[in-house]
Protein backbone atom coordinates (compact mmCIF):
# COMPACT_ATOMS: atom_id res chain seq x y z
CA UNK A 1 0.00 0.00 0.00
CA UNK A 2 1.31 3.42 -0.84
CA UNK A 3 2.29 5.89 1.84
CA UNK A 4 -0.26 8.40 0.65
CA UNK A 5 -3.08 5.89 0.98
CA UNK A 6 -1.97 4.98 4.49
CA UNK A 7 -1.90 8.63 5.45
CA UNK A 8 -5.39 9.14 4.01
CA UNK A 9 -6.71 6.16 5.98
CA UNK A 10 -5.16 7.53 9.18
CA UNK A 11 -6.70 10.97 8.66
CA UNK A 12 -10.12 9.45 7.99
CA UNK A 13 -9.91 7.22 11.04
CA UNK A 14 -9.08 10.16 13.28
CA UNK A 15 -11.89 12.23 11.74
CA UNK A 16 -14.38 9.39 12.27
CA UNK A 17 -13.38 8.84 15.88
CA UNK A 18 -13.62 12.58 16.57
CA UNK A 19 -17.03 12.71 14.93
CA UNK A 20 -18.31 9.68 16.83
CA UNK A 21 -17.10 11.12 20.10
CA UNK A 22 -18.62 14.50 19.27
CA UNK A 23 -21.99 12.98 18.47
CA UNK A 24 -22.04 10.80 21.55
CA UNK A 25 -21.31 13.74 23.84
CA UNK A 26 -23.85 15.98 22.12
CA UNK A 27 -26.62 16.75 24.53
CA UNK A 28 -24.74 15.22 27.44
CA UNK A 29 -24.97 18.55 29.15
CA UNK A 30 -25.96 17.22 32.55
CA UNK A 31 -25.35 14.05 34.53
CA UNK A 32 -28.96 13.79 35.71
CA UNK A 33 -30.24 10.24 35.57
CA UNK A 34 -33.12 10.34 33.12
CA UNK A 35 -36.41 8.59 33.67
CA UNK A 36 -37.02 6.39 30.68
CA UNK A 37 -39.82 7.34 28.32
CA UNK A 38 -40.85 5.80 25.01
CA UNK A 39 -43.31 7.72 22.88
CA UNK A 40 -46.48 6.06 21.62
CA UNK A 41 -47.93 7.37 18.37
CA UNK A 42 -50.86 4.94 18.57
CA UNK A 43 -52.13 6.69 21.68
CA UNK A 44 -54.29 9.31 19.96
CA UNK A 45 -55.81 10.51 23.24
CA UNK A 46 -52.31 11.27 24.58
CA UNK A 47 -51.39 13.15 21.38
CA UNK A 48 -54.59 15.19 21.59
CA UNK A 49 -53.95 16.08 25.24
CA UNK A 50 -50.35 16.94 24.36
CA UNK A 51 -51.48 19.28 21.57
CA UNK A 52 -53.93 20.96 23.90
CA UNK A 53 -51.35 21.41 26.66
CA UNK A 54 -48.85 22.69 24.12
CA UNK A 55 -51.22 25.33 22.81
CA UNK A 56 -52.07 26.48 26.32
CA UNK A 57 -48.68 26.36 28.01
CA UNK A 58 -45.96 26.53 25.34
CA UNK A 59 -47.22 28.24 22.20
CA UNK A 60 -47.14 31.62 23.92
CA UNK A 61 -43.37 31.42 23.41
CA UNK A 62 -42.52 28.49 21.11
CA UNK A 63 -43.89 28.20 17.57
CA UNK A 64 -44.08 24.98 15.54
CA UNK A 65 -43.11 26.54 12.25
CA UNK A 66 -43.16 23.41 10.13
CA UNK A 67 -46.48 22.11 11.35
CA UNK A 68 -49.95 23.22 10.21
CA UNK A 69 -53.07 23.19 12.39
CA UNK A 70 -54.96 21.42 9.63
CA UNK A 71 -52.54 18.51 9.38
CA UNK A 72 -52.48 18.23 13.18
CA UNK A 73 -56.29 18.08 13.29
CA UNK A 74 -56.40 15.41 10.58
CA UNK A 75 -53.63 13.28 12.06
CA UNK A 76 -54.77 13.34 15.67
CA UNK A 77 -57.98 11.39 15.28
CA UNK A 78 -59.61 13.50 12.55
CA UNK A 79 -60.57 16.41 14.79
CA UNK A 80 -63.26 18.43 12.92
CA UNK A 81 -61.76 21.65 11.56
CA UNK A 82 -64.44 23.89 13.12
CA UNK A 83 -63.70 22.38 16.52
CA UNK A 84 -59.98 22.98 16.00
CA UNK A 85 -60.58 26.61 15.01
CA UNK A 86 -62.96 27.25 17.89
CA UNK A 87 -61.07 25.53 20.71
CA UNK A 88 -57.42 25.12 19.84
CA UNK A 89 -56.37 28.11 17.73
CA UNK A 90 -56.05 31.04 20.11
CA UNK A 91 -53.81 33.18 17.93
CA UNK A 92 -56.46 34.26 15.39
CA UNK A 93 -54.78 32.20 12.68
CA UNK A 94 -56.50 30.17 9.96
CA UNK A 95 -56.54 26.37 10.09
CA UNK A 96 -54.32 26.09 7.01
CA UNK A 97 -51.51 28.12 8.60
CA UNK A 98 -48.39 27.01 10.39
CA UNK A 99 -48.53 26.95 14.19
CA UNK A 100 -47.01 30.32 15.05
CA UNK A 101 -46.41 31.85 18.43
CA UNK A 102 -48.16 35.16 19.01
CA UNK A 103 -45.04 36.67 20.57
CA UNK A 104 -42.92 38.89 18.34
CA UNK A 105 -39.23 38.16 18.04
CA UNK A 106 -38.27 41.61 19.37
CA UNK A 107 -40.34 41.13 22.52
CA UNK A 108 -38.90 37.67 22.99
CA UNK A 109 -35.35 38.99 22.71
CA UNK A 110 -36.08 41.81 25.12
CA UNK A 111 -37.65 39.50 27.72
CA UNK A 112 -35.50 36.41 27.47
CA UNK A 113 -32.27 37.60 25.90
CA UNK A 114 -32.85 35.14 23.08
CA UNK A 115 -35.96 34.16 21.17
CA UNK A 116 -37.42 30.88 22.50
CA UNK A 117 -36.47 28.30 19.85
CA UNK A 118 -38.98 26.76 17.48
CA UNK A 119 -39.79 23.28 18.79
CA UNK A 120 -40.82 21.46 15.60
CA UNK A 121 -37.59 19.49 15.54
CA UNK A 122 -36.70 19.46 19.23
CA UNK A 123 -37.36 15.75 19.79
CA UNK A 124 -35.11 14.94 16.86
CA UNK A 125 -32.29 17.21 17.97
CA UNK A 126 -32.63 16.14 21.63
CA UNK A 127 -35.02 13.19 22.11
CA UNK A 128 -38.58 12.67 23.37
CA UNK A 129 -37.04 11.34 26.59
CA UNK A 130 -34.96 14.49 27.01
CA UNK A 131 -38.01 16.73 26.61
CA UNK A 132 -39.98 14.58 29.08
CA UNK A 133 -37.24 14.81 31.70
CA UNK A 134 -36.74 18.52 30.98
CA UNK A 135 -40.39 19.14 31.84
CA UNK A 136 -40.13 17.07 35.03
CA UNK A 137 -37.02 18.64 36.49
CA UNK A 138 -37.62 22.34 37.03
CA UNK A 139 -36.76 23.29 40.61
CA UNK A 140 -36.58 26.34 42.78
CA UNK A 141 -33.35 28.33 42.48
CA UNK A 142 -33.51 31.92 43.63
CA UNK A 143 -30.17 32.72 41.96
CA UNK A 144 -31.75 32.35 38.51
CA UNK A 145 -33.66 35.17 36.74
CA UNK A 146 -36.97 33.28 36.74
CA UNK A 147 -36.43 31.71 40.16
CA UNK A 148 -36.09 28.22 38.69
CA UNK A 149 -33.37 26.02 37.31
CA UNK A 150 -33.49 22.71 35.47
CA UNK A 151 -31.70 19.40 35.96
CA UNK A 152 -31.33 18.32 32.33
CA UNK A 153 -30.76 21.86 31.00
CA UNK A 154 -28.75 23.59 33.74
CA UNK A 155 -29.21 27.37 33.87
CA UNK A 156 -32.00 27.30 31.31
CA UNK A 157 -33.36 30.72 30.39
CA UNK A 158 -36.99 29.59 30.50
CA UNK A 159 -39.52 29.98 33.31
CA UNK A 160 -41.30 26.86 34.56
CA UNK A 161 -44.26 27.06 32.18
CA UNK A 162 -46.34 24.44 33.98
CA UNK A 163 -45.57 25.52 37.53
CA UNK A 164 -49.26 25.84 38.35
CA UNK A 165 -49.79 22.19 37.37
CA UNK A 166 -46.69 20.55 38.82
CA UNK A 167 -46.04 22.76 41.81
CA UNK A 168 -42.63 23.65 43.19
CA UNK A 169 -39.77 21.22 43.47
CA UNK A 170 -36.80 21.79 45.77
CA UNK A 171 -33.36 20.30 45.88
CA UNK A 172 -32.98 17.99 48.85
CA UNK A 173 -30.26 15.94 50.50
CA UNK A 174 -30.31 12.20 50.93
CA UNK A 175 -28.62 11.72 54.25
CA UNK A 176 -25.17 10.17 54.46
CA UNK A 177 -25.98 6.79 53.00
CA UNK A 178 -24.06 5.90 49.87
CA UNK A 179 -26.43 5.66 46.94
CA UNK A 180 -26.14 3.10 44.24
CA UNK A 181 -26.66 5.29 41.18
CA UNK A 182 -28.82 2.75 39.40
CA UNK A 183 -31.14 2.59 42.36
CA UNK A 184 -31.59 6.29 42.62
CA UNK A 185 -34.82 6.56 40.68
CA UNK A 186 -36.47 3.76 42.65
CA UNK A 187 -35.01 4.97 45.91
CA UNK A 188 -36.16 8.48 45.14
CA UNK A 189 -39.82 7.61 45.16
CA UNK A 190 -39.75 5.28 48.16
CA UNK A 191 -37.19 6.71 50.48
CA UNK A 192 -37.19 10.35 49.63
CA UNK A 193 -39.14 11.52 52.61
CA UNK A 194 -37.31 9.30 55.14
CA UNK A 195 -33.96 10.29 53.78
CA UNK A 196 -34.69 13.97 53.90
CA UNK A 197 -35.68 13.59 57.52
CA UNK A 198 -32.40 11.86 58.29
CA UNK A 199 -30.74 15.01 57.00
CA UNK A 200 -27.07 15.44 56.33
CA UNK A 201 -25.12 17.38 53.76
CA UNK A 202 -24.13 14.47 51.56
CA UNK A 203 -25.86 13.38 48.37
CA UNK A 204 -27.67 16.60 47.83
CA UNK A 205 -29.32 17.60 44.60
CA UNK A 206 -32.24 15.21 44.25
CA UNK A 207 -35.65 16.82 43.76
CA UNK A 208 -38.64 16.78 46.04
CA UNK A 209 -42.02 18.33 45.41
CA UNK A 210 -43.49 20.65 48.01
CA UNK A 211 -46.78 18.86 48.70
CA UNK A 212 -49.90 20.67 47.59
CA UNK A 213 -48.05 23.36 45.61
CA UNK A 214 -49.47 22.27 42.24
CA UNK A 215 -52.90 21.43 40.87
CA UNK A 216 -51.85 18.02 39.54
CA UNK A 217 -50.78 14.91 41.42
CA UNK A 218 -47.31 13.58 40.55
CA UNK A 219 -48.88 10.95 38.29
CA UNK A 220 -51.08 13.50 36.52
CA UNK A 221 -48.12 15.80 35.93
CA UNK A 222 -45.95 12.95 34.64
CA UNK A 223 -48.76 12.08 32.24
CA UNK A 224 -48.97 15.72 31.09
CA UNK A 225 -45.19 15.83 30.50
CA UNK A 226 -45.41 12.52 28.63
CA UNK A 227 -48.28 13.82 26.49
CA UNK A 228 -46.35 16.95 25.47
CA UNK A 229 -43.17 14.99 24.69
CA UNK A 230 -45.28 12.45 22.77
CA UNK A 231 -46.97 15.24 20.80
CA UNK A 232 -43.61 16.85 19.99
CA UNK A 233 -42.35 13.45 18.85
CA UNK A 234 -45.29 13.30 16.43
CA UNK A 235 -44.64 16.88 15.26
CA UNK A 236 -40.97 16.09 14.59
CA UNK A 237 -42.03 13.60 11.92
CA UNK A 238 -45.78 13.71 11.22
CA UNK A 239 -45.72 10.91 8.66
CA UNK A 240 -44.02 8.40 10.95
CA UNK A 241 -47.25 6.73 12.13
CA UNK A 242 -48.49 6.51 8.54
CA UNK A 243 -45.20 5.03 7.35
CA UNK A 244 -45.17 2.45 10.12
CA UNK A 245 -48.72 1.38 9.25
CA UNK A 246 -47.86 1.11 5.55
CA UNK A 247 -44.67 -0.74 6.47
CA UNK A 248 -46.70 -3.52 8.08
CA UNK A 249 -48.70 -4.02 4.87
CA UNK A 250 -45.54 -4.03 2.79
CA UNK A 251 -43.98 -6.71 4.99
CA UNK A 252 -47.19 -8.75 4.85
CA UNK A 253 -47.18 -8.47 1.07
CA UNK A 254 -43.54 -9.53 0.89
CA UNK A 255 -44.24 -12.55 3.10
CA UNK A 256 -47.07 -13.67 0.82
CA UNK A 257 -44.75 -13.16 -2.15
CA UNK A 258 -42.11 -15.24 -0.41
CA UNK A 259 -44.48 -18.19 0.01
CA UNK A 260 -45.57 -17.95 -3.64
CA UNK A 261 -41.96 -17.70 -4.81
CA UNK A 262 -41.07 -20.75 -2.73
CA UNK A 263 -43.74 -22.92 -4.33
CA UNK A 264 -43.00 -21.57 -7.78
CA UNK A 265 -39.34 -22.40 -7.29
CA UNK A 266 -40.19 -25.90 -6.14
CA UNK A 267 -42.46 -26.43 -9.10
CA UNK A 268 -39.80 -25.38 -11.61
CA UNK A 269 -37.09 -27.58 -10.17
CA UNK A 270 -39.37 -30.60 -9.93
CA UNK A 271 -39.28 -30.94 -13.74
CA UNK A 272 -35.56 -30.22 -13.99
CA UNK A 273 -34.66 -32.91 -11.43
CA UNK A 274 -36.85 -35.51 -13.10
CA UNK A 275 -34.96 -35.22 -16.37
Q: Which is nearer to ligand HEC, 146 or 175 (CB)?
A: 146
Minimum CB–partner distance for residue 242 and ligand HEC (Å): 24
**Residue whose Cβ sits closest to ligand HEC:** 58
* C-alpha span between 48 and 79 (Å, rounded): 9
CB 210 within 8 A of CB 163: no
Minimum CB–partner distance for residue 228 and ligand HEC (Å): 5
CA angle, 100 then 53 then 190, to 5°: 140
Minimum CB–partner distance for residue 31 and ligand HEC (Å): 18
* C-alpha span between 40 and 234 (Å, rounded): 9
CA–centroid distance for 46 within its chain: 14
CA angle, 121 then 30 then 185, to 5°: 100
Minimum CB–partner distance for residue 113 and ligand HEC (Å): 8
Q: Which is nearer to ligand HEC, 79 or 160 (CB)?
A: 160
Q: Which is nearer to ligand HEC, 117 or 247 (CB)?
A: 117
* C-alpha span between 92 and 178 (Å, rounded): 55
Q: Which is nearer to ligand HEC, 136 or 172 (CB)?
A: 136
Minimum CB–partner distance for residue 108 and ligand HEC (Å): 7
Residue ranges in contact with ligand HEC by CB under 6 A: 57-58, 60-62, 112, 114, 116-117, 119, 122, 125-126, 131, 134-135, 156-159, 161-162, 228
* C-alpha span between 81 and 87 (Å, rounded): 10
Q: Which is nearer to ligand HEC, 115 or 188 (CB)?
A: 115
CB 30 within 8 A of CB 154: yes
Amino acid sequence: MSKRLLKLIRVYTIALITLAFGVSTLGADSDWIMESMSPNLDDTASLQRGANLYVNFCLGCHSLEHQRYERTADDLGEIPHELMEANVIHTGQKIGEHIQSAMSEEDAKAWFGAAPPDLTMVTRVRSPEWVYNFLLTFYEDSSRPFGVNNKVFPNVGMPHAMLSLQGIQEEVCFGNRPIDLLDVQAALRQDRVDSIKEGGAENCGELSLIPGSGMFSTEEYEQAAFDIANFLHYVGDPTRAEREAIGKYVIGFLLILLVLAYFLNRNYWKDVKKN
